[in-house]
Amino acid sequence: MRDERLFPLFQPLDALPGIGPKLKPVLEYLVGGETIWELLLHMPERWLDRRPVDSFENLEPGEVATVRGEVHAIKAPYNERAPTRIELFDGTGFLTITYFRADSRWLQGQFPVGKERIVSGRVDEYRGERQMSHPDFVMDPAKGEMPPPVEPIYALTAGLTNKRVHGSQQAALDLVPEGLPEWIDPALVAKRAWPGFREALIGVHAPTIYDEIALFKARERLAYDEALARELAFGRARALRAQEDAPSIPPSPDALNRLVKTLPFKPTGAQIRATKEIMADLAEPHPMRRMLQGDVGSGKTLVGAFAAIQAAAGGFQSAFMAPTEVLANQQFETLDRLLSPLGINVASITGRDKGSVRESKRMGLSDGSIQVAAGTHALFQEGVVFRNLGLVIVDEQHRFGVADRLKLVGKGKAPHTLVMSATPIPRTLAQSIHGDLDVSILDEKPVGRKPIETRAIPDTRIEDVIAATGRALARGERAFWVCPRVDADTEDGSSAVARAAMLEDALEVPVGLVHGRLKADEKDAALEDFRSGRTRLLVATTVIEVGVDVPEATIMVIERAEGFGLAQLHQLRGRVGRGDKDSFCLLLYRAPLNEIARQRLDTLRHTEDGFEIAEADFKLRGAGDLLGKRQSGMVAYRLIDPVQHAELIDIARQDARLATETADKISPARADGLALLSQLLSPDIRFSE
Ligand code: ADP
Ligand code: MG
């Protein structure tokens, strides 16, 4: 039940003055919500200093400025395309204000000759003269008018002006209740010199003086509110989970060691650490919810296999779910190779299974003779019954919808769940971003991996790249060629379809082609041909990004690489360098590169460490993008900027733990406050629902 004190904030947006049926949907779209509270959560991106400058002399072209002067003259446009020019005089010099296609009567009303005006807007330089075109504010000082001294600048959407959003925020602020109890530990508030909650909202949306420290503090306090609410919610989710039952599956070091002995390599330290964490989780009588995060090629599957062995030894079935048929098959082959020699029965369950094959597999699942099932969504279709499902492993979890995951988890009685992801997230943030999941990180590459040589090459040298690819194919190796688009493209031939045809011609080899427009089975067939070596050159769009393991591939060409994101390029590159031969990643780019693109390609050339790349990516494009709502499976931030506020998250975690552990010692006022905070900023924890 919502607390009454918060009712005003949870009203619809049209409860605000000036928001009618037309503006309401636009504003809802902008803030991604329907309530006044959601509007208030729409933070300014920055603040403009609108304090008037002393003299026109100090105006800097390119900057927003506020000036005061007397209207000296209005000059009509000398032709249709020229602006009306208004000359403003401040006692030392002139500033020209220009308006294109403006109504002259209206202008004369705005700028009566001989009267004083305050105008605020962007200063430009035109033919060596400073001028201001279409100012944001024109005000009459005689009436006591003044632009806001500080103007918050918001992200906008079509149909909204900044003034409008700012005005709505100001109206919304009137509804923020006064006298709410402080929910943050008072000592922390004092130490950080944070304003109270209401003051902080006013401080960001309607600051009255331009004070960078005050703006920063207000913004930081709100970010902390979110961090604290998240950690409290995660703590509650954990506590709830600790009350749920799951089978306690004891560790089986013998079975595990038998697998280790069959491996041609030694597990990495990180694989061992993660395995131990999982072993301990499985032994608990409560459901495991763990994320195994590791860069491409870090060996997540083996860790999953270790977990499956423990389950099998304890008499439980495991289900490995992959997002595509190809990946499911690949996983089946790997698991079968690893586990069958130990007497564990592994089967693949996909939508392809038909008739009696399907029936017998279903039988195997329901009578328990299949101990490990690798498959796609088909694993949890109607009619699939597990005898004793104890462990669910979801690979490449970000590719699944939340609903899929939940359905699978529902199959067993709250079985233990391990999700695996290669999405690189800076280590410091992993725990907070994955919400209430426990996180294990594979931060060590298997030894003996050869570095991938990465080169950035202008696309004018594409012939060299084609020749190099031809030489690799002649040596019996395989190559990927990634294109940014599917369609035939007359301009530069960089579409997958055109490029495949062109390469087939140039190299005189069969070329596989895979892109998102193909049907699932066509896609699978093309990938399968490449995996098995029937084709040795595969032209693709980014559908190959995730998970295909073809150790014979030594060359990854990426066309128009400047248009891809850093994380994506890194994932693509991870498709090669899996065998014992030297591998290359050739980034073809179209000159000239802009600064960000140049830095991306540079970062990639200099490191293969996914975590380092994630950090760089964060800095280059801002975290919002990476952690936006589009990233399913993660709990998106609203007020926290993970780059700026990372440190707050750790503090909040400790604070939340303390608040939970010492709940009986907390003052009633703070307890009241914490309950309010949870209603305001609880994250939407989808995984654990
Ligand atoms: P990912 O984490 O991307 O899913 P995989 O599990 O597909 O990685 O492993 C990539 C490759 O590395 C596989 O061929 C696997 O057999 C191999 N591998 C896994 N662990 C090790 C190890 N400790 N040493 C050497 N190779 C390993
Ligand atoms: Mg994998």
Q: How far is the CA of 297 from the centre of ligand 1 (A)?
A: 5
Residue nearest to atom 19 of ligand 1 (CA): 299
- Is the pLDDT at 685 greater than 60, yes or no? no
Residue range 452-607 forms a domain whose CATH class is: alpha beta
Mean pLDDT in the chain? Answer: 87
What stretch(es) of the chain map to CATH 3.40.50.300? Answer: 253-442, 452-607
pLDDT band at residue 627 using 50, 70 and 90 as cut-offs: very low
Q: Which of 259, 261, 265 to mutate to test the pocket of ligand 1 (most atoms within 8 A of CB)?
A: 265
Which one of the ligands is nearest to 292 CA? Answer: 1
Q: How confident is the model at residue 412 (pLDDT cuts 50, 70, 90)?
A: low
Atom of ligand 1 nearest to the CA of 448: 25
Q: Are the C-beta atoms of residues 347 and 353 closer than 8 Å to each other?
A: no
CA of 446 to the centre of ligand 1 (A): 7
What integer pLDDT is reported at residue 53 of this predicted model?
85
Question: Which ligand ends up closest to the CA of 547?
Answer: 2
| Phi, psi torsion values for 442, nearest 5 degrees | -95, 100
CA distance linking residue 339 with residue 415, whole number of Å: 21
Mean pLDDT of 654-680: 91
| 301 Cα–ligand 2 center, Å | 6
- Which tens digits make up the pLDDT trace of 297-323? 889 999 999 999 999 999 999 999 988
Residues of the chain with CATH 2.40.50.140: 51-147
> Which atom of ligand 1 is closest in space to residue 334's alpha carbon?
16
pLDDT at 387: 93
Q: Is the pLDDT of residue 413 over 60?
A: no
Residue with tokens 């943050």: 184
Residue nearest (by alpha carbon) to ligand 1 atom 25: 446
Among the listed residues 50, 136, 55, 51, the one whose alpha carbon sits nearest the alpha carbon of residue 93: 55
pLDDT digits (tens, 9 = 90+) for 359-407: 999 999 999 999 999 998 888 887 889 999 999 998 876 665 555 555 5
Rounded to the nearest angstrom, the distance between the alpha carbon of 345 and the centre of ligand 1 is 21
362, 365, 371, 372 alpha-carbon torsion, rounded to 10°: 60
Confidence bin at 625 (pLDDT 50/70/90): very low
* Alpha-carbon span 586 to 420, nearest angstrom: 28
Indicate if the pLDDT at residue 618 is higher than 50: yes
Q: Which residue has the higher pLDDT, 630 or 28?
A: 28
Question: What is the model's pLDDT at position 684?
Answer: 64
Q: Which residues contact 127 (CB under 8 A, 6 or more apart)?
A: none
Q: Which atom of ligand 1 is nearest to the CA of 549?
A: 7
Closest ligand relative to 571 C-alpha: 1
What average pLDDT does range 119-146 have in this prediction?
89
**pLDDT higher than 70, residue 348:** yes
User: How many angstroms separate the CA atoms of 386 and 285, rounded?
Assistant: 20
E strand residue ranges, 140-180:
150-153
Does the reported pTM lie above 0.75? no
Residue nearest to atom 10 of ligand 1 (CA): 297
What is the residue type of 505?
A: D
Distance 298 CA to ligand 2 centre (A): 8
Residue nearest to atom 20 of ligand 1 (CA): 299
| DSSP single-letter state for residue 636 | -
pLDDT higher than 90, residue 267: yes
From the CA of 320, which ligand is nearest?
2
Query: Which residue owns the Cα nearest ligand 1 atom 4?
Result: 300
Measure 348 CA to ligand 2 centroid, in angstroms: 16
Query: Residue 581 is which amino acid?
Result: K
Kindly report the protein residue whose alpha carbon is nearest to atom 15 of ligand 1.
299
Could you tell me what percent of the chain has a pLDDT over 90?
Answer: 54
Q: Looking at domain 51-147, does it have CATH number 2.40.50.140? A: yes
Residue ID of nearest Cα to ligand 1 atom 23? 267
Ligand 2 midpoint to CA 87 (Å): 67
253-442: CATH topology is Rossmann fold (3.40.50)
Contacts of 355 (CB under 8 A, 6+ apart): none
Distance 282 CA to ligand 1 centre (A): 23
Pocket of ligand 1 (CB under 6 A): 265, 267-268, 271, 294, 296-302, 422, 446, 549, 578
- For residue 298, the ligand 1 atom closest to its alpha carbon is 2
Q: Give the Å distance between the CA of 334 and the centre of ligand 1.
A: 10
Residue located nearest, by CA, to atom 18 of ligand 1: 299
- State residue 628's pLDDT score: 38
- C-alpha 126 to ligand 2 mean position (Å): 58
The amino acid present at 608, given as its one-letter code, is E
Q: Which of 292, 440, 549, 550 should be mutated for ligand 1, with most atoms under 8 A from CB?
A: 549
Return the axis-axis angle of helices 610-621 and 566-573, rounded to nearest 10°.
160
Q: How far is the CA of 287 from the centre of ligand 1 (A)?
A: 27
pLDDT tens digits along 188-225 = 999 999 999 999 999 999 999 899 999 999 999 999 99
Compute, in angstroms, the gap from residue 322 CA to the centroid of ligand 2: 9
Largest CA distance in the chain: 97
Q: Determine the Cα–Cα distance for residues 297 and 274; give it in Å rounded to an integer.
A: 15
The residue to mutate among 292, 298, 330, 576, having the most atoms of ligand 1 within 8 angstroms of its beta carbon, is 298
Task: In whole angstroms, give the CA distance from residue 164 to residue 172.
Answer: 12
Q: Which ligand is nearest to the CA of 610?
A: 1
326 alpha carbon, closest ligand: 2
The ligand placed nearest to the CA atom of residue 335 is 1
pLDDT interval class at 624 (50, 70, 90):
very low
Atom of ligand 1 at shortest range from CA of 330: 7
Q: Which of the listed residues 302, 418, 450 should we mutate to test ligand 1's pocket, taking the one with most ligand atoms within 8 A of CB? A: 302
Atom of ligand 1 lying closest to residue 304 CA = 6
Residue 149 scores a pLDDT above 70: yes
Q: Which amino acid would we find at residue 230? A: R
Asked if 635 contacts 418 with a C-beta cutoff of 8 angstroms, the reply is: no
**Is the pLDDT higher at 70 or at 410?**
70
Which tops the pLDDT comparison, 388 or 642? 388
